[in-house]
Amino acid sequence: MNRSFFVGYLPIPADIRKFVIGIIVVLVIVAAAVAVTVGSNQQAAGTGNWNPTAQVTMTGRLVVDPYPILYREDGKSVVLVVQGKRSADEYSMPHAGVNVEVTGYSIKRGNWSMLEIVDAESIQPKKGTAPVLPAVEQLGKVSLQGEVVDSKCFLGVMKPGEGKVHRACAALCLLGGIPPMFVVKSADGNRYGYVMTRKDGSHASRMLASMVAWPVSVSGMVESRGDLLYLRMDSEGVTPLVGNDLLQFGDSLAASAVAGEFCGVRRSAKI
């Protein structure tokens, strides 16, 4: 018997050539099949939307307490951030409290609105009376389970913008001062978000950078300001879930009675 044998620099024997062509065809089919299977099993990541192609302009009263928010005449609150993983604190400070016109790229998810500005020029003082600030309403004490996210990615810049894969990116955003957000799933199946501050109401981004994107619990006071809900943390930070809480995480978030109450009634914080 003399089986044919392939040597790279000699002409390829006909039977081996046929075999190799067969293998190549099989491999190409395998590649396409794996691509289609993995590609068709991508998980949904919500309805966040970021339009980085067309800028929009809005007017309202700019407040920095502790995060820059534009309160519009129509009652909408719009969180401001800068392009990249940076906060808009610095550009907003000079205009704090006054009526302004802000231009930037819109980011939206559920009832949340955000504007991504470019630089100091994106905020211009605007003549006219600024809208009246909404009253701050204390809603009470809660204890919630959920995840700290960076609001910018979560609301639509990155999809998905939460979870472990996104943890390093979220940490970078929080180090850059992007407002931190606490995301819970309520007993009603909906997800709600809270802007997080320290107990004294100050900036919590940098402090939370190392605790972002983990299943955690947090307790604090919920207050409403316009259509946003704020969570003032009791202690300095959040506590990682362990044991059963961790195992069940994802099914029964924010199932506690108090949390459900706030979550249920504040339609505006829904994401």
Partner 1 sequence: MSHDYVPVQWNRKKVIYDISLWGGIALYIACFMIVSSILLAGDEALSPMILLIRAFATCAFLMLTIILCIGPMARLDERFLPLLYNRRHFGVSMFVVALTHAILATIWYHGFGVVSPIESIFASPGDLTSISNIPFQPFGAGALLVLLLLASTSHDFWNANLGPLLWKSLHMGVYLAYGLLIVHVAAGAMQEDNTGMLPLLVLGSVVLVGSLHLTAALKVRSIDSGIAAGEWVDVGTWQEIENDRAIVVTIGAAERIAVYRYDESRIAAVGNVCKHQAGPLGEGKVIDGCITCPWHGFQYRPEDGCSPPPFTEKIPTYRARVEGDRILIHPTPLPDGTPRDVAMIGGYS
If binding is defined by CB under 8 A, does position 6 make contact with partner 1? yes
> What is the DSSP secondary structure assignment for residue 270, as one 8-state letter?
B
If binding is defined by CB under 8 A, does position 252 make contact with partner 1? no
- Tell me how far CA of residue 71 lies from CA of 59, 60, 61, 152, in angstroms: 8, 5, 5, 18
Return the H-helix or E-strand segment holding 34: helix 14-39
252: CB partners within 8 A, 6+ apart: 145, 187
Alpha helices in 157-200 (DSSP H): 167-175
The strand pair at 86-87 and 77-82 is best described as antiparallel
Total number of residues shown for the chain:
271
Least separation in angstroms between residue 84's CB and partner 1 is 4
Least separation in angstroms between residue 73's CB and partner 1 is 26
If binding is defined by CB under 8 A, does position 56 make contact with partner 1? no
Least separation in angstroms between residue 244's CB and partner 1 is 15
Cβ-based nearer residue to partner 1, 24 or 56: 24
Q: For 126-170, where are the E strands, in sequence order? A: 136-150
One residue of 51, 57, 84, 137 binding partner 1 per CB under 8 A: 84
- Region 119-178 residues binding partner 1, contact defined as CB under 8 A: 157-160, 163-169, 171-173, 175-176
If binding is defined by CB under 8 A, does position 19 make contact with partner 1? yes
Instruction: Kindly state the tokens that stand for 114.
Output: 């955000």
Least separation in angstroms between residue 131's CB and partner 1 is 29
If binding is defined by CB under 8 A, does position 47 make contact with partner 1? yes
Least separation in angstroms between residue 162's CB and partner 1 is 9
Least separation in angstroms between residue 1's CB and partner 1 is 7
Alpha helices in 60-133 (DSSP H): 89-92
Count, residues near partner 1 per rule CB under 8 A: 60
| Contact criterion met (CB below 8 Å) for 81 and 174 | no
| Cis amide bond preceding 160, omega within 30 | yes
- Region 190-249 residues binding partner 1, contact defined as CB under 8 A: 209-213
Q: What sign results for the dihedral spanned by CA atoms 34, 36, 41, 47?
A: positive
Cβ-based nearer residue to partner 1, 27 or 265: 27
- Binding site residues, partner 1, CB under 8 A: 1-3, 5-10, 12, 16, 19-20, 23-24, 27-28, 30-32, 34-47, 49, 83-86, 157-160, 163-169, 171-173, 175-176, 209-213
